[in-house]
Amino acid sequence: MSDQLIYSTALDDGMPALLSSFITGQARHETGNYTHRFFTLGKNAFGYSYNKLSKWQIQGGDRADNGVPIAQYRSVADSVHELTDWIKRRQKEGKFPKDLTQIRSASEYAMLLKKSGYYQAPLSVYVSGIVNALKKLPENIYKAIPPGGNIIVLLIIVGVAFYFLTKQNQ
């Protein structure tokens, strides 16, 4: 149920079908397959911290490990709206492509999130989490990773890691 709601909301917000699949996988990853208390109690599908200026959040709830209150939403759809609005702002900043259909893999999506400051975990961990979550989605939301897709993901991860390591050493 949550998979379909998240996917449909992302589509309704103007996200392409493949990106909507990645967003759904991201939600599944972020929430531990929709079992985390931030999701079950606060309808927070993406781990957002509370921001009183957000038009989607209703209040802060439990505190995360870093002591920051986690956002609570009226609905899971509002949590998705928060993320799709964030992506649209990153598009305007030039951090996401103007044509979101150019995002063709979970690793590309995770890399864009990372470069935009969305998460702090190592890229390989986040990509792995999304890819594993995608495998659990209903077929109508995400068709299987194409043959050789795992090798491509691994090569992209290695390339991105090399890029960031060489950039830090400059």
Residues 73-122 pLDDT 10s: 999 999 999 999 999 999 999 999 999 999 999 999 999 999 999 998 99
Cα–Cα distance measured from residue 159 to residue 3, given in angstroms and rounded to the nearest whole number: 31
pTM for the whole structure? 0.84
Cα–Cα distance measured from residue 94 to residue 80, given in angstroms and rounded to the nearest whole number: 21
pLDDT tens-digit readout, 110-144:
999 999 999 989 999 999 999 999 999 998 887 64
State what percent of residues in the chain have pLDDT above 90. 73
For residue 72, count other CB atoms closer than 10 A to its CB. Answer: 20
- pLDDT of 30 reads 95
- pLDDT of 145 reads 46
Q: Check pLDDT > 80 for residue 152.
A: no
Residue environment code for 12-46, b if the CB has 16+ CB neighbours within 10 A, otherwise e:
ebebeebbbbbbbbbbbbbbeebebebbeebbbbb
Cα–Cα distance measured from residue 3 to residue 43, given in angstroms and rounded to the nearest whole number: 13
For residue 168, count other CB atoms closer than 10 A to its CB. Answer: 7
pLDDT tens-digit readout, 10-58:
999 999 999 999 999 999 999 999 999 999 999 999 999 999 999 999 9
- pLDDT of 156 reads 57
Which residue shows structure tokens 């995002």?
Answer: 103
